[in-house]
């Protein structure tokens, strides 16, 4: 009777693994050459060692090269700091760093309720860190912004240029 539970090489094995450790597709097992196996159920071909077409490396033979932009993106201007929701001192540090690396001027840009933070950044840089800085120009304006619901609203903007 004990011989009935033993498997011989000629006896086909069950397709359903008895425990998660027994399956070749568990999260912790590795496939050929140490690559992680896919999370899909094992097929007979995958169990035999043949590559599965659902494996990510089987779908792409080589990584795609990233396109190189011909010019910089339009929002990324040189020596410009866009003031946002981060702490004020982070923007102060960015402005001081720009000047320390040799920039002759720094432009602070903000809009909406963040305008007061841009003024704070300019004043902290001028009075606490780099006392030889001066405000070269201040520009104010209005931008029309489309909301999530499709309506348009107007938002105030400010640009403050600091120079040595």
CATH of the domain at 121: 3.30.110.20
| Within a domain: 62 | no
Percent of the chain with pLDDT over 90: 52
Q: Is the pLDDT of residue 40 over 80?
A: no
Closest residue by Cα to residue 109 from 138, 132, 89, 83: 83
> Total structural domains in the chain?
1
Q: Is the pLDDT of residue 135 over 50?
A: yes
Q: What is the pTM of this model?
A: 0.54
* Residues 61-79: tens digit of each pLDDT: 667 776 665 654 455 578 9
Residue 114 near residue 81 (C-beta atoms within 8 A): no
* Residues 98-108: tens digit of each pLDDT: 999 999 999 99
| Within a domain: 92 | yes
| Within a domain: 140 | yes
Cα distance between residue 35 and residue 64, in whole Å: 20
Mean pLDDT for the stretch of residues 77-106: 95
**Domain encompassing residue 107:** 80-163
- Our CA angle for 66, 52, 50, nearest 5°, is 125
């Amino acid at each position: 009777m004990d011989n009935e539970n033993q498997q011989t090489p000629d006896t086909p094995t069950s397709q359903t693994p008895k425990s998660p450790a027994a399956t070749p597709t568990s999260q912790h097992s590795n496939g050929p050459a140490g690559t992680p196996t896919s999370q899909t159920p094992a097929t007979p071909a995958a169990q035999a060692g043949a590559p599965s077409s659902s494996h990510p490396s089987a779908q792409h033979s080589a990584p795609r090269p990233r396109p190189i932009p011909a010019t910089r993106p339009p929002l990324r201007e040189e020596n410009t700091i866009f003031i946002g929701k981060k702490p004020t001192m982070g923007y102060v540090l960015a402005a001081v760093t720009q000047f320390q690396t040799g920039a002759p001027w720094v432009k602070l840009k903000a809009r909406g309720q963040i305008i007061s933070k841009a003024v704070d950044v300019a004043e902290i840089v001028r009075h606490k860190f780099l006392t030889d800085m001066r405000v070269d120009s201040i520009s104010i304006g209005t931008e029309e912004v489309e909301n999530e619901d499709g309506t348009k609203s107007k938002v105030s903007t400010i640009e403050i240029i600091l120079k040595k």
